[in-house]
């Protein structure tokens, strides 16, 4: 006969809770171990094995304490400790299995079988620790069932934990809790199946002096185990959080490095490759061409009239146009081709393959046609063009620098023929490039050697025919090339920044010579000086001008500054402040080349101005083209309505003069009166004019 025992339901529930808690901790530790390497992995594996083993062992031991027999029961300390070691070993083995990268079917079945046998061994070793006078017998069917349950539970546990290691979605926590409940029930199911398999003979006596308070002992063990598992779980979560933050910082740093790397290789405005990346792409193309014994083109293009758009509509409009141009250039090209912006309105294109100049020319024509369409900027159509220069590898250069320089030379040659031209590089073009460099050096020396002079063109009042003021025009007395006109060197001065010191010299010299005329007894004629955009943007322009007037002794009323309308529209608010400071000191201000730019009448009426100068392009055919005459009439009417004096530039014929007089224009300047004259010749003209007009 056998004895039948009973269970303390409180301890049974405690054992289930400990099993679930141990499973959840095991799952968390498995995820943590899978994410570490080296020494940290070994430490987490060792600590996890101890915590998980204690949890499983505690569940089994509390489950045994929940079972009571009619006889007192004690436990052998050595065997009980052995069962704990088995639990820790089994836990370590399980964590090692699931923390690997792969869990194939063979590895899963073999590992689960060993783990299940280990758990069963831990359970029955714990049962053997019960001090009994006779051996416990087991029901073969239930005994085998408990081992099968242990192996099946191990299969489920290993598979669940491994799947959790690979999970990355936001439902990981819910899956972990659900899996822990399932696993906890499976572990307790194995335990209580094993307990049900035990047969205790009715004549069996427990060995011990006093009955043990199992409730107190189980509660103590459960609390201690709960604390161990909780501390382990907290440490795992804290470490996981720190690791997650570290990983986040690493990702942020990686993203920042990638962003910096991108910015270092791309143009900030158009997002196209910059010069650095372009050079790398060209070197790749050179290697590819060498391996295939082929060639490729490098295309250098510069936008025509971009400066006018930038000055007249503002930098924001210019930036928008550059972005649209970048998109336009990229559209007809292949993915292997490279479009790069290397500065300002200059772009470089490297075609990956075409070595046939005819194909290259066809592609460039498509690019030119694309750029020739109207772009919409600030709700206004803007039409531009471009000049293209092409160099071919290896005929026109075998390095990036050589190809770029030669394509640049070809582009300048194309631009010299007018807008929208395409030119392939030829050796003769190097002479032009060298001439440009030589001219720049000579321009610098000219400033140092005082090689510039001023010529003056009178402005004549139409009603009286008397000279009312003069305009200073700079000339370069080149020691070899002779007298050079502004169009021969002013563009180069603007490109190189030398326009600033040159412009300052012009103001100084014009004021000095005007004062000399007055000292010679001539009337107080006003002298006009052109101000470049670069000069106008100087914050201390007003102070510079007043300094020159004080130094030369010229009255501010005798100085007239001429600026273009596009320059005013570049920054209307800033221009208003600058002009107000200049006008407050008594200096006059005129708008030069009126009608050729883009201006807002709302702003124009607010500027402190004195004169409008009609651009010579409207005067040239005023006697032949009714449209030009209508435009001139409108400008004169506009100027008078704003209380401004209107002056016509480029008047050369009697017919032009007569029409302007009929249109009530105030004054004119041009060859009809005289060509620009040196200072001494102008002084003689002023003396003669004085006799007839004063």
Q: What is the pLDDT of residue 389?
A: 93
Judgement on whether residues 503 and 601 belong to the same structural domain of the protein = yes
Q: How many domains does the chain have?
A: 3
Q: How far apart are CA 231 and CA 235, in angstroms?
A: 6
The dihedral region occupied by 5, where left means phi > 0, alpha psi between -120 and 50, and beta the remainder, is beta
Note whether residue 192 is domain-resident: yes
Q: Which helix (H) or strand (E) holds 303?
A: strand 296-304
H or E segment and range at residue 307: helix 306-313
DSSP bridge pairs for 348 = 300, 340
Distance separating alpha carbons of residues 299 and 424, to the nearest angstrom: 9
CA distances from 361 to 295, 298, 647 (A): 15, 12, 47
Is the residue at 472 inside a domain? Answer: yes
Asked whether residue 522 is assigned to any structural domain, the reply reads: yes
State how far the Cα of 294 lies from the Cα of 272, in Å rounded to an integer.
26
> Is 395 found in the same domain as 531?
no
183-230 pLDDT tens trace: 777 777 777 777 777 776 665 555 444 444 445 454 555 555 555 556
Q: What is the pLDDT at residue 654?
A: 93
Same domain for 356 and 376, yes or no, is: yes
Q: Is residue 404 part of a domain?
A: yes
DSSP string for 541-582: HHHHHHHHHHHHT--GGGEEEEEEHHHHHHSHHHHHHHHHHH
Using a 10 angstrom Cβ sphere, with 0-12 exposed, 13-18 middle and 19 or more buried, the burial of residue 112 is buried
* 423-to-40, 155, 275, 383 alpha-carbon distances in Å: 67, 76, 22, 22
Residue whose pair of structure tokens reads 């242990």 in the numeric block: 150
Cα 583 from Cα 369, distance rounded (Å): 46
22 and 107 fall within a common domain: yes
Question: Which of 119, 128, 126 is closest to 53 using CA atoms?
Answer: 119
Bridge-based pairing state of the strands 467-478 and 526-530: parallel
Judgement on whether residues 311 and 191 belong to the same structural domain of the protein: no
User: What are the backbone angles phi and psi of residue 245, rounded to the nearest 5°?
Assistant: -65, -40
Cα–Cα nearest to 664, from 458, 466, 465, 462: 462
| Domain-terminating residue out of 401, 427, 453 | 427
User: Do the domain assignments include residue 250?
Assistant: no
DSSP state string for 330-347: HTTS-TTSEEEEEETTEE
**Segments forming the whole domain that contains residue 115:** 2-240
Residues 421 and 447 in one domain: no
- 115 in any annotated domain: yes
Residue at 433 is within a domain: no
User: CATH no. for residue 395?
Assistant: 3.30.70.270
From 427, 449, 476, the end of a domain falls on: 427
- Which pLDDT belongs to residue 662? 92
Share in percent of the chain as helix, strand, coil (round to 5): 60, 15, 25
CATH of residue 562's domain is 3.20.20.450
The C-alpha atoms of residue 341 and residue 386 are separated, in whole angstroms, by 14
- Sorted by sequence, the CB contacts under 8 Å of residue 243 that are 6+ apart come out as 35, 36
In a shared domain, residues 396 and 480:
no
Looking at 373, 398, 427, which one is the last position of a domain?
427
Contact present, 618 and 624 (Cβ < 8 Å):
no
Three-state SS string over 269-283 comes to CCCCECHHHHHHHHH
Q: For 5-139, where are the alpha helices, taking DSSP H only?
A: 9-34, 38-65, 77-98, 105-128
Q: Which of 188, 226, 238, 227 is nearest to 28 (CA)?
A: 238
Do residues 422 and 444 touch, judged by C-beta distance below 8 A?
Answer: no
* Per-residue tokens: 33: 């171990």
Whether residue 646 sits in one domain with residue 515: yes
Q: Are both 398 and 498 inside the same structural domain?
A: no
Do 405 and 447 have their domain in common?
no
The stretches of 168-274 forming alpha helices (DSSP H) are 172-197, 214-265
How do 452-461 and 677-678 pair as beta strands? antiparallel
Pairwise CA distance, residues 115 & 219, whole Å: 28
Residue 208: what pLDDT?
46
488: DSSP letter: G
Q: Which residues of the chain have pLDDT under 50?
A: 1, 207-214, 216, 218
Q: How much is the pLDDT for 512?
A: 94
419 and 312 co-located in one domain:
yes
What is the tens place of the pLDDT at every residue in 125-153? 777 767 765 577 777 888 787 778 777 77
For residue 647, being part of any structural domain is answered with: yes
Contact predicate 582/542, CB 8 Å: yes
CA atoms within 13 A on the CB side of 37: 1
Q: Find out whether 685 and 673 touch, Cβ atoms under 8 Å.
A: no
393 and 477 together in one domain: no
pLDDT value for 575: 79
């Amino acid at each position: 006969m056998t004895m039948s025992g009973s269970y303390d339901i409180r301890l049974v529930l405690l054992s289930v809770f400990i099993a679930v808690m141990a499973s959840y901790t095991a799952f968390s530790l498995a995820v943590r171990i899978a994410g570490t390497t080296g020494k940290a992995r070994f430490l987490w594996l060792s600590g996890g094995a101890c915590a998980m083993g204690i949890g499983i062992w505690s569940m089994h031991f509390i489950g045994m304490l929940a079972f009571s027999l009619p006889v007192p029961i004690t436990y052998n300390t050595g065997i009980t400790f052995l069962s704990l070691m088995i639990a820790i070993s089994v836990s370590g083995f399980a964590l090692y299995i699931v923390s690997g990268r792969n869990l194939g079917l063979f590895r899963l079945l073999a590992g689960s079988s060993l783990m299940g046998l280990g758990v069963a061994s831990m359970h029955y070793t714990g049962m053997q620790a019960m001090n009994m006078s006779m051996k416990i017998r087991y029901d073969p069917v239930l005994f085998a069932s408990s081992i099968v349950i242990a192996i099946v539970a191990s299969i489920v546990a290993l598979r669940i934990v491994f799947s959790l290691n690979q999970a990355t979605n936001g439902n990981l926590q819910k899956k972990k809790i659900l899996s822990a409940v399932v696993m906890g029930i499976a572990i307790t199911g194995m335990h209580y199946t094993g307990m049900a398999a035990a047969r205790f003979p009715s004549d069996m006596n427990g060995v011990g002096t006093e009955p043990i308070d199992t409730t107190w002992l189980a509660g103590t063990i459960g609390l201690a185990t709960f604390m161990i598992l909780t501390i382990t779980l907290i440490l795992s979560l804290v470490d996981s959080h720190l690791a997650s933050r570290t990983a986040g910082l690493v990702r942020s740093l990686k993203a920042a490095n990638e962003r910096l790397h991108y910015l270092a290789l791309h143009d900030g405005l158009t997002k196209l490759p910059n010069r650095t990346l372009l050079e790398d792409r060209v070197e790749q193309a050179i290697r590819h061409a060498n391996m295939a014994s082929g060639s490729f083109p490098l295309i250098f293009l510069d936008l025509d009239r971009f400066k006018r758009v930038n000055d007249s509509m503002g930098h924001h409009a210019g930036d928008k146009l550059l972005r649209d141009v970048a998109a336009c250039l990229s559209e007809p090209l292949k993915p292997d081709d490279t479009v790069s912006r290397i500065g300002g309105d200059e772009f470089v294109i490297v075609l990956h393959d075409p070595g046939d100049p005819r194909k290259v020319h066809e592609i460039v024509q498509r690019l030119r046609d694309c750029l020739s369409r109207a772009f919409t900027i600030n709700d206004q159509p803007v039409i531009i063009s471009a000049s293209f220069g092409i160099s071919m590898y290896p005929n026109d250069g075998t390095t990036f620098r050589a190809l770029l320089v030669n394509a640049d030379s070809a582009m300048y040659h194309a631009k010299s023929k007018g807008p929208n031209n395409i030119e392939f590089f030829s050796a003769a073009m190097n002479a032009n490039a060298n001439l440009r460099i030589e001219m720049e050096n000579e321009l610098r020396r000219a400033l140092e050697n005082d090689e510039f002079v001023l010529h003056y063109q009178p402005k004549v009042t139409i009603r009286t025919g008397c000279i009312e003021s003069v305009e200073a025009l700079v000339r370069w007395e080149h020691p070899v090339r002779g007298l050079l006109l502004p169009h021969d060197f002013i563009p180069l001065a603007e490109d190189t920044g030398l326009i600033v010191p040159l412009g300052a010299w012009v103001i100084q010299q014009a004021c000095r010579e005007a004062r000399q005329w007055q000292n010679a007894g001539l009337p107080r004629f006003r002298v006009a000086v052109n101000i470049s955009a670069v000069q106008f943007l100087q914050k201390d322009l007003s102070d510079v001008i007043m300094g020159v007037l004080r130094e030369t002794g010229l009255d501010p009323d005798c100085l007239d500054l001429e600026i273009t309308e596009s320059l005013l529209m570049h920054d209307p608010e800033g221009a208003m402040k600058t002009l107000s400071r200049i006008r407050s000191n008594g200096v006059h201000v005129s708008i030069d080349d009126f009608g050729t730019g883009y201006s807002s009448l709302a702003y124009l009426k607010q500027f402190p101005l004195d004169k409008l100068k009609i651009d010579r392009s409207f005067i040239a055919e005023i006697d032949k083209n009714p449209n030009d005459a209508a435009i001139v009439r409108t400008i004169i009417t506009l100027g008078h309505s704003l209380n401004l004096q209107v002056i016509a530039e480029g008047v050369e014929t009697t017919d032009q003069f007569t029409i302007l007089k009929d249109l009530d224009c105030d004054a004119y300047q041009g060859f009809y009166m005289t060509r620009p004259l040196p200072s001494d010749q102008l002084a003689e003209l002023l003396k003669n004019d004085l006799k007839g007009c004063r």
